Amino acid sequence: MDSMETLLPVDTEVDAGFKAFADELRSPGQPVIAPERFAAAMHLRQQDLALLAHVHRTTVAEAPANARLQAYMRDTLRVLSAAMGVAGGRDRAIYWYRNTPIPEFQHRTAEHLVSAGKTDAVVAYLLSIESGSSG
């Protein structure tokens, strides 16, 4: 067992699925998310990732460790981690994140809300759904 597994115990299939997904996005040899891998996994063009992260379009390729870009991708992963528990898997969680309007947030998508800095509110919403509340 490696030290990362000790720090991040995998208790459920969803946790294991999320860990595998997050590992796929890691930039080889670096402690950052690879923007090109993230964009491909989310079915985004790199310029769309730049728009969502509020960085210049060249930042994705030329400065992949940019703090704002990395923060947006980490926030997306936070929401997807919670969404996978509710949606039941990676593909469904990504579809929900990108496409499903949330009535409690003026029918905005989670993708829009994370881009607008509302990550904590989306995670709280998902946790309330998971615990049986209506939102």
In-domain check, residue 6: no
| Structural domain span for residue 55 | 11-130
In-domain check, residue 5: no
Name the band, by pLDDT with cuts 50, 70 and 90, for residue 11.
Answer: very low
In-domain check, residue 90: yes
Q: The tokens of 133 are what?
A: 């509340």
Please count the structural domains in the chain: 1
Average pLDDT over residues 61-69: 97
In-domain check, residue 113: yes
In-domain check, residue 19: yes
pLDDT of 2 over the 70 cut: no
The pLDDT value given to residue 131: 82
Residue in the block written with tokens 């720090």: 7
> Distance between CA 33 and CA 41 in Å, rounded?
12
In-domain check, residue 101: yes
In-domain check, residue 111: yes
User: Is 33 strand, coil or helix?
Assistant: strand
In-domain check, residue 93: yes
The pLDDT value given to residue 14: 58
Q: Are 77 and 112 in contact (CB under 8 A)?
A: no
